[in-house]
Structures are given as C-alpha cells and as structure tokens.
C-alpha cells in the first residue's frame, strides 16, 4: 500500500522568512510559466507540478516495512538527522529521505553507471552507453553484491532500497521531480524500483573519477608524435622530494619483516589479528622506487608511439564524453585533508579538516546527513554524521561519537592501458592467439530502435577501442619497431583497472561508520579497495594516516606510466597486490600533524614498490604544512577557525617564483607597463577582487601557451585553436612553405597545458636555463615579438596578457578583477546542459565570482589552456573538533535538495563562496536546538 500521510504535505521550513522566500520564488515561477506556457517544456511545468515534488518534512508518514518509529529532524538548511531503534529502520529511513530530496539525481546516476542513459534521454546518449557497457560497472557491482559483500552490508543495502521504493510507491514521475514531466511526455519514461546493486554501482563511478594516472598515460603517448623522450621528460619532472614533504615522514618499509614500520615506535599499526592482508598477496617488487621517472623510454615507448596517436586520441574523446556527473574525468582533481594533534590546538584535542576537489555539479555530489541509533547496541550500531552520496547508505566522510576521518585521492596507479594485436580469432599473447571473452549488450533507446553491441575483452581487460572504427583504421597505418608484431589490422586498446574486479569498498563504509579507535579504523580501511584514498584519522587523543587500496604489483618496470604491449606477458599484472600491512601509515607522528593533498605518500628511498609515477607535485600540501608550522613555531595554538582560514588560503606558489622575474622585464609599451605595475607590491593572493591576480594569471596562461602549448600535438590542444606547424614526417628540409595547418581537438577544460602544479615544476626547473629551446617562440600577429630566450618570452607573455584582458575586461585596468574572469556556473547535469535555453535558466544557477585558483589550497581549478572559468572546486568543506563535536563546522557546495525550486537547492552556495561554514550539530540536544522541521515515519 502507498505510504499514508498526516499533517500538511510540502516543505515547511519553519521560519517565516523562509516561507516568504519560497512564496516569492513561487510568484516568480508563476510569472515565468505564464510567459512560456505552451512553449516546449514550459507547458509541462505548472506550479502544481513544481510543488507536488517538494518533500513532506512535517507531520507523519506510514511506511510499510518499518519495525518501529523513526524521527527525521531537519535544520533550517533542510539537512536531515535520522533517529531509529534498529539498523534496518535507520537505513530504510535514509533511503526514503534521500529519495525525497534527490531521487531524480539518483535515477540519472544509476542509468549512467549501468549504461542505460538512452532509456531516459534517447539516441543522443547511445555512444556514452556503449562505452559504459564496455566498462561494465553494473556487472562488476552485481558480482560484488553476490560474492564479496558481507551479510550485514547486504541487509543494509536491502533496507535502503526498501526505503527508496516506499517513497516511489504510488507516485508518478512528476510527483517525484519536475524533470520527469518532459521525460514522461517525450519518452514515456517512468522511474523503476531501486535495487541494492544500484547503490553499489555508484562507487564504481567515483572510482572512475579518481582513477589516477590514466590520462597521463594517454597524454605521454600522444606527445610522441611531436616530442622526443627528453622533451617529454621535461614535461613530467620527478617529484621534488627535497622541497615538498611527503605525507608519511616517520616510517619506512622493513625488508626483514615485510611490513611498513613507523620510526621509533612500537605502536600497534592497527592490523593485529584482523586478517587484513587478504587485500592481496605480496611478491618481490621489480618495479623500482616510487619516484621512477614517468618519461622512461623503452621498446614499449617506441611500439606505442605512432600506433597510438589517433587510437588514444579517439579513446580520449570517449573518456571526455562520459557524462560530467562523473566529474572532469580525473584530470587535475585533487583534495585537501589534514589533522592536527591536540598538543597544537586550543581545545587540547585534535582538529581534522577535509575539502575534496571535484567538478562542480548541481546538486552537489555530496549529501549531508546524520544517522543515529537512539541507543547504540548490537541491534542498532550507528551514531554517525557527515557526507554521503544520494543513492548510497551510510556515511562516506565524517565522524561518529569516537572518531573522525577525511579522504583525499591518493593517486596511486591502479589503471594500465595495453596495446593489443588483434585478429579475427582473438588477440596475440606470447606468440599465440587467444580467444576473446565476449558478450552481447542490448541498448534500449527511448523513442527509437534498440542497438546491439558486442563487448570484447582480452586478458588485460575490455577493448575500449572497439567503440570507434577509426581506431582500427589508424592501426593499419601505424609505424612500429621490429619488436612489435606486424600491424596487420591494427592495434586495439584494452584497460586493466582494479575497479573492474569485485571488491569490498561498500563493506568499508559501514565498518568506518562504527569504528571506535585506530585499530577498528585500520581494519575498516583495509576493506576500502577501490578507489584508493589517503585516509586521515583522529579521535579525542590520537591522529593517524593510512593508505588502503588494492594496488597491483607489476611484472615489469613502470608499466603504469605509458601504454604497454599487451602481447608480451612480461608487462602483465602478476595477480599479486601489496598487502595492507606493507602500505605506508603514520600514527601520532612527533611533528604533531599530518597533511594529505595528493602529494607523494612516502619518500622514494623508504619504499620498494611503485605506487605511481604521477603524484601531485605538492604545491598545496607544502603550503598547508607551512601555514601549520608558522602557527606552531610562533607559539600559537590552532583553532577551528584557523583550520577554516587555511582552507581559504589563496596564495599562488607559481606567482612567488615568477613575479620577481616579470618585474625585471623592461616594457616599452606604456599600456603594457601599466598592467605590469599591478604586480608591484602584490602579495600573491588570488582574491576575487584582485586586478593583480587577474593579470598574473593571464600572464601565466600566455607563458604556458607560448612555451609549451603551441608545441604540443593537436590531440592535446584546445579544440578549434589552429596553428601552422612543421609536418610530423617531413620528406626534406623544412621551410615556411612546408608548414601545415593543425587545429586542436580537445575540449577547453581538458586541454594541455592545464597550468596545474606539474607545470609549476616544469617551469621551475627551466628557470635556470634561460636559453632552453622551450623558451623560443616565433613572432605573433601584428607586432608581437618573437622570443629566443626566457626573458623575451616573458616579455611577449606580458604583452599578450595585456591585450587579452583588454578584450575580455576592457582597457581600463581599474575595472579588472580576478573574479570577473574566474567564475563558477552550477548546471543541472541533464536538462540544465542539454535542454532549451529557458529550461537551463530555470534549473541552473550562477555565476559566482571566485577567489583561489589552480594548485592553491583554496583550489578553485581552471584550465590555463582553455580559459579562466572554474572547472573543479572544493566540493564541500568540513572541520571536525574532536574536543567538542558540536563545535564542528561544515558546508556543502549547493544544498540538501535536488528540487530546483526548493529553498534548499543552493542555499549553502553563497556561504560556500564566502568561505563560511555552518554549525554542525551532533549530540541529541544540539540537534534538537537546531531542528526546524520534524517528520515521523511510523510502521
């Protein structure tokens, strides 16, 4: 039977000001709909449709399947805190409440992860579905559910699904969310029941978003068409261990015991008796140290070079087409998380901060909530609060009554691309042809005929190149060395990725949620196999760090750095993984704090295994370290607000390096000189209202373009930007008449050079070589001078930046500001990107002018090759106070609701932009005081 309700339905914020705000929005909406009524989508969206989908937040609702009453208390921002007396009731209520706020988002996500977007949106999504079916996330999730997850986790997933379905029962699409109205009209689409596997699949999407160095593998291979090994090495410098500190500093691998040991400490590493080595079998590493150069040249590189040019370009297009709900495809994504011991804090107890960096989405990828057992017991084990994903039970990041934890992407290399020599019968492996593992997939298309595809797999994984016929054509023309097999019909490209094997990450979520100490936490972390994350930990007296994850041991060399020859077993994965007790960790280090911001985990001389060759380069992590040390060495104690202020630090590390040099350039043009003077006395802080920040970032962008961007192959440059270049294989001495016109092929937010801290390091290393060929560039249009050395290129960049900003912001530099260039737009991930203009207006929000920038602590990322717009952000911010959990703070990028005309759609965004945090109630008394609405769910 459908749920029954008493009291009023519809959202009731509980404060008259919020009621007036909602009425005002509804009045505006009535006017808008009156204007557009009968036109396209506008005819589907009446005021009643909009209001019908807003959730009931007061009164009571009967839910069949509950064993006892459940209270849902929402604060003035609509953030729910759920109180139940059994685990099953708690997670059933979580499913119901998340469906109230975010079911449309949940529905889109599950169609994406299962490769069924075409069922919702029609033929325009077929290519995406083909690629996602080839990856087979939902198939892996089903295997996980059937064979890997614990009985209790399955029970929780089932309870969650029951709650979601209780919300759906008896509702039409437009009753659930206004976006369903046009979908139902055009595609006859109706939401289907939720399943436990739908929840598990979303972890695969997040693993894809955080899949480490796959993009670098592609880029390095593509560069070989125009750059030699030495030049590629210049663009992928080694990690600066001597300057930017690693995460783990007080420990190293002990070859005698085969475990990672902390220096001078006999502390239990948290793994005793837990059996956590089951994450893999260790073996002798032949892969070299952590810091192996990413640019190593071998027969692999030669075989990959020309054969891969268009193949990987085509693959890149597929990756780039994956819906942006998954993120910006892993490139440039980072995060900050750090923890400070009580000896350095005002409270005398640890403080923990976290702000994961992801592409902006509306609604935010995160959903804030609390899950509370009225009495914690064997029947009801949870009392936890934090951030989770709509569509998934439990809490992913946050704290319970005993511990807190945060996450950043570790960046460890768990993906490899393999060149495959294909034939009609199969693929070549060690001189023999092996048959493909294949399956047929049927893609249903709303409003059209279904499409069948065949997915083929080698022993290295699915053939991603099967999705594009042009990849086979290119293979026919590829040049390879004598060590490679005959090109025949060309090479395919397969993907080996740990997330394509069933795992236990869902178990880890629930285990962390109820962990009460370091040993519990480490045991829980050992289950978190994909994606591998840096986990920071705190309880009332201790701090810690651990690196979990299923990390492969490779048979040969730096297979993970460049695409490898799949036909040679020497490059295959061994089937062994680094054991959990071999992975780096720290517990109560003597320095009294731990910082993780995607930098190298451990010094290359202290660890035998290759974790990756593509770390973040440590600009953010070292800045956070410096801020903490400044406070400590000054005799101060760190407060919750100090942690917040550190999260907002806008200091530009590359500006500190370059500005002194830029100010020494003798500029003749008075207008350019006027802009250059903006940099005099600038404190390198990228505030939204800073004209100096605007000009410097424009100069930085032009330095990168002149020195590097114009020399990269077309596959890496911005789509539509065309250059006259020397042909790749000239038949004779080149002159101006030999040049060919090549246009870039990448979307602006994915092109290179992107300006991140890898490029900081590239430029830093070249500063002492002012006559390097990288600094040489031909003359530009008009009177733009050529450059033969570093200072001449800097002069050209100062000039080009002045006139670029004149075109964008006007000639009067008094009107310039960084925020006018650096803007955030929040877009609904479906109709907000693909719908008619007025629909986008109704669903999307922004722009906001942002401070911060690339590789700053306040990491509002932008792509220097494509422009200045914000492409990834701190997706949430939190500071946990272990001395008094009710004094913790948090904020989300958007709001609790996915309903476009809810008061809670983007009600946190303004405060997020300003760097403010909300109070984060945890205890029952604090939650009661903050409650605006209470909904009773009863059996």
What DSSP assignment string belongs to 639-700?
-HHHHHHHHT--B-HHHHHHHHHHTTS----HHHHHHHGGGTT--SB--TT-HHHHHHHHHH
Structural contact between residues 863 and 154, judged by C-beta atoms closer than 8 angstroms: no
Given a cut of 50, whether residue 63 has pLDDT beyond it is: yes
pLDDT of residue 247: 97
pLDDT for position 186: 67
Q: What CA–CA distance (Å, rounded) separates 900 from 889?
A: 26
Structure confidence by residue, pLDDT tens digits, 531-549 = 889 999 999 999 999 999 9
Q: What is the DSSP letter of 595?
A: E
- Tens digits of per-residue pLDDT, 437-454? 999 999 999 989 999 999
Residue 576: Cβ-neighbour burial (10 angstroms; 0-12, 13-18, 19+) = middle
Q: What pLDDT score does 124 carry?
A: 87
Residues 816, 809 contacting (CB under 8 angstroms)? yes
> What pLDDT is stored for residue 56 in this prediction?
96
CA angle 210, 554, 247 (to 5 degrees): 50
Provide DSSP, 465-505: GGG-HHHHHHHHH----TTSPP-TT-EEEEEEEGGGS---H
pLDDT at 836: 64
**Token pair for 767:** 């500063």
* Separation between Cα atoms, residue 548 and residue 556, nearest integer Å: 23
- Name the nearest CA neighbour of 93 among 424, 394, 360, 357: 394
Q: Yes or no: say if 463 and 134 are a contact pair by the CB < 8 Å rule.
A: yes
- pLDDT above 80 for 307: no
Local confidence band at 397 (pLDDT 50, 70, 90 cut-offs): very high
Query: Strand, helix or coil at 225?
Result: coil
**Which letter does DSSP use for residue 384 in this model?**
E
- Read off the tokens for 909: 């965004």
The 10s digit of each residue's pLDDT in 10-62 is 444 344 444 444 444 443 443 344 333 433 444 555 566 666 789 999 999 99
Mean pLDDT over 622-632 rounds to: 97
DSSP state of 786: P
Is the separation of the CB atoms in 470 and 403 below 8 Å? no
- The share of the chain scoring above pLDDT 70, in percent, equals 82
pLDDT at res. 207: 77
% of the chain residues with pLDDT over 90 = 65
Instruction: Confirm if 209 and 333 have CB atoms less than 8 A apart.
Output: yes
Gap between the Cα atoms of 830 and 442, Å rounded: 23
Q: What is the DSSP code string of 510-553?
A: HHHHT--SHHHHHHHHTT--SS-EEEEEEESS-EEEE--S--EE
CA–CA separation, 91 vs 105, rounded Å?
A: 19
- Inter-residue contact 501 to 526 (CB < 8 Å): no
Token pair belonging to 798:
């100062």
**Over 70: is that where the pLDDT of 897 sits?**
yes
**Tens of pLDDT along 237-284?**
999 999 999 999 998 999 889 999 988 643 455 554 333 333 333 333
584-604 tens-digit pLDDT: 999 999 999 999 999 999 998
pLDDT of residue 733: 46
pLDDT at 482: 58
Q: At what angle do helices 790-809 and 653-662 cross, to 10 degrees?
A: 110
The answer to whether the beta carbons of residues 253 and 608 sit under 8 Å apart is yes
- In eight-state DSSP terms, residue 606 is G
> Burial level of 73, CB count in 10 A (0-12/13-18/19+)?
buried
Instruction: Give the mean pLDDT of 131-136.
Output: 92
Q: What is the mean pLDDT of the chain?
A: 85
- Return the structure tokens found at 216: 């670098």
Asked if pLDDT for residue 202 goes beyond 50, the answer is yes
What long-range pairs does 195-199 form, CB within 8 A, spacing at least 24? Answer: 195/161, 196/145, 196/154, 196/157, 196/158, 196/160, 196/161, 197/138, 197/141, 197/142, 197/145, 198/106, 198/110, 198/113, 198/114, 198/161, 198/391, 199/157, 199/160, 199/161, 199/391, 199/392, 199/393, 199/506
**Cβ distance 785 to 679 under 8 Å?**
no
Among 700, 866, 701, 702, smallest CA distance to 784 is for 702
Per-residue confidence band for 850, with pLDDT thresholds at 50, 70 and 90: very high
Looking up tokens 């492409």 gives: 871
Q: How far is CA 691 from the centre of its chain?
A: 30
Written as six digits, the tokens of 659 are 């500005």
Q: What Å distances lie between residue 720 and 321, 621, 906, CA to CA? A: 17, 35, 34
Question: Contact 449/116 with Cβ under 8 angstroms?
Answer: no
Find the mean pLDDT for residues 567-593: 93
Rounded to 10 deg, the angle between the 299-321 and 214-223 helix axes is 120
CA distance 60 to 65: 15
729 pLDDT band (50/70/90 cuts)? Answer: low
Distance CA 66, CA 63 (A): 6
Query: Predicted confidence band at 423 (pLDDT cuts at 50, 70, 90)?
Result: confident
Q: How many CA atoms lie within 13 A of 494 on its CB side?
A: 24
């Amino acid at each position: 039977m459908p749920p029954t309700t008493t009291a009023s339905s519809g959202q009731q914020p509980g404060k008259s000001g919020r009621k007036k705000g909602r009425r005002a929005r509804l009045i505006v909406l009535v006017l808008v709909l009156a204007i557009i009524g009968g036109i396209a989508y506008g005819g589907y969206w009446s005021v009643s449709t909009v209001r019908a989908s807003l959730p009931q937040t007061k009164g009571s609702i009967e839910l069949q399947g509950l064993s006892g009453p459940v209270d849902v208390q929402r604060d003035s921002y609509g953030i729910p805190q759920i109180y139940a007396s059994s685990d099953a009731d708690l997670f059933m209520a979580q499913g119901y409440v998340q469906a109230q706020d975010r079911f449309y988002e949940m529905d889109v996500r599950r169609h994406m992860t299962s490769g069924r977007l075409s069922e919702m949106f029609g033929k325009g999504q077929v290519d995406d579905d083909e690629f996602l079916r080839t990856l087979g996330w939902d198939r892996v999730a089903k295997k996980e559910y059937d064979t890997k997850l614990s009985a209790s986790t399955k029970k929780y997933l089932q309870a969650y699904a029951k709650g979601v379905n209780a919300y759906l029962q008896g509702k039409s699409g437009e009753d659930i969310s206004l976006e369903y109205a046009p979908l139902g009209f055009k595609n006859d689409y109706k939401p289907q029941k939720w399943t436990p596997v739908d929840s598990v699949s979303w972890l695969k999407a997040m693993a894809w978003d955080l899949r480490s160095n796959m993009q670098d593998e592609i880029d390095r291979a593509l560069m070989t068409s125009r750059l030699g090994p030495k030049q590629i090495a210049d663009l992928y410098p080694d990690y600066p261990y001597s300057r930017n500190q690693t995460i783990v500093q007080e420990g190293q691998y002990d070859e005698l015991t085969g475990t990672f040991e902390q220096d001078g400490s006999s502390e239990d590493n948290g793994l005793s008796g837990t059996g956590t080595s089951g994450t893999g079998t260790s073996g002798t590493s032949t892969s070299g140290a952590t810091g192996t150069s990413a640019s190593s040249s071998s027969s692999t590189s030669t075989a990959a070079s020309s054969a891969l040019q268009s193949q990987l370009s085509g693959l890149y297009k597929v990756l780039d087409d994956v819906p942006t709900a998954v993120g910006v495809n892993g490139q440039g994504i980072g995060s900050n998380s750090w923890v400070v011991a009580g000896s350095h804090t005002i409270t005398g107890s640890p403080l923990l901060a976290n702000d994961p960096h992801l592409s902006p989405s509306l609604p935010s990828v995160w959903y804030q909530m609390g899950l509370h057992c009225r009495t914690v017991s064997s029947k009801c084990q949870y009392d936890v609060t934090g951030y989770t994903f709509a569509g998934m039970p439990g809490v992913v990041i946050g704290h319970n009554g005993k511990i807190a934890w945060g996450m950043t992407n570790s960046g460890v290399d768990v993906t490899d691309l393999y060149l495959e020599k294909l034939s009609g019968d199969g693929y070549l492996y060690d001189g023999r042809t092996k048959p493909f593992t294949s399956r047929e997939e049927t893609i249903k298309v709303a409003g059209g005929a279904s499409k069948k595809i065949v997915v083929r797999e080698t022993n290295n994984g699915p053939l991603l190149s099967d999705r594009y016929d042009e990849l086979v054509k290119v293979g026919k023309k590829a040049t390879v060395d004598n060590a490679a097999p005959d090109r025949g019909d060309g090479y395919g490209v397969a993907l080996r990725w740990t997330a394509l094997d069933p795992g236990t990450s869902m178990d880890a979520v629930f285990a962390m949620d109820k962990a009460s100490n370091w040993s519990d936490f480490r045991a829980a972390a050992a289950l978190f196999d994909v994606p591998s994350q840096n986990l920071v930990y705190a309880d009332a007296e201790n701090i810690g760090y651990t690196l979990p994850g299923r990390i492969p041991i490779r048979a040969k060399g730096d297979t993970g750095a460049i695409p490898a020859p799949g036909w040679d077993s020497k490059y295959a994965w061994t089937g062994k993984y680094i054991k959990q007790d071999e992975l780096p960790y720290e517990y109560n280090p003597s320095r009294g704090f731990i910082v993780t911001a995607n930098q190298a985990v451990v010094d290359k001389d202290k660890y035998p295994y290759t974790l990756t060759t593509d770390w973040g380069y440590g600009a953010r992590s070292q800045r956070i370290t410096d801020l903490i040390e400044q406070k400590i060495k000054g005799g101060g104690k760190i407060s919750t607000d100090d942690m917040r202020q550190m999260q907002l630090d806008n200091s530009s590390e590359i500006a500190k390096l370059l500005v002194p040099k830029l100010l020494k350039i003798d500029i003749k043009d008075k207008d350019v000189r006027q802009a250059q003077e903006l940099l005099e006395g600038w404190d390198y802080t990228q505030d939204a209202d800073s004209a100096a920040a605007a000009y410097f970032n424009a100069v930085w962008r032009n330095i990168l373009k002149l020195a590097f961007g114009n020399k990269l192959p077309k596959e890496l440059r911005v789509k539509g930007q065309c250059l006259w270049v020397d042909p790749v294989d000239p038949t004779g001495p080149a002159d101006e008449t030999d040049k060919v016109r090549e246009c870039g092929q990448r979307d602006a937010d994915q092109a290179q050079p992107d300006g991140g801290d890898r490029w900081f390091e590239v430029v830093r290393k070249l500063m002492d070589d002012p006559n390097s060929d990288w600094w040489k560039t031909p003359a530009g249009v008009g009177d733009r001078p050529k450059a033969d050395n570093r200072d001449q290129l800097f002069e050209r960049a100062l000039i080009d930046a002045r006139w670029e900003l004149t075109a964008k912001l006007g000639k009067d530099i008094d009107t310039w500001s960084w925020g006018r260039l650096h803007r955030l737009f929040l877009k609904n991930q479906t109709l907000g990107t693909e719908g008619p203009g007025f629909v986008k207006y109704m669903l999307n929000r922004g722009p906001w002018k942002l401070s911060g920038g690339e590789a700053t602590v306040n990491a509002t990322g932008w792509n220097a090759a494509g422009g200045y717009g914000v492409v990834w952000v701190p997706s949430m911010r939190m500071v946990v106070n272990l001395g008094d959990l009710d004094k913790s703070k948090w904020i989300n990028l958007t709001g609790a609701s996915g309903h476009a005309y809810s008061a809670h759609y983007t009600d946190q965004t303004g405060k997020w932009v300003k760097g403010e945090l909300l109070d984060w109630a945890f205890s029952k008394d604090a939650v009661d005081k903050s409650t605006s609405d209470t909904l009773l769910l009863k059996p």
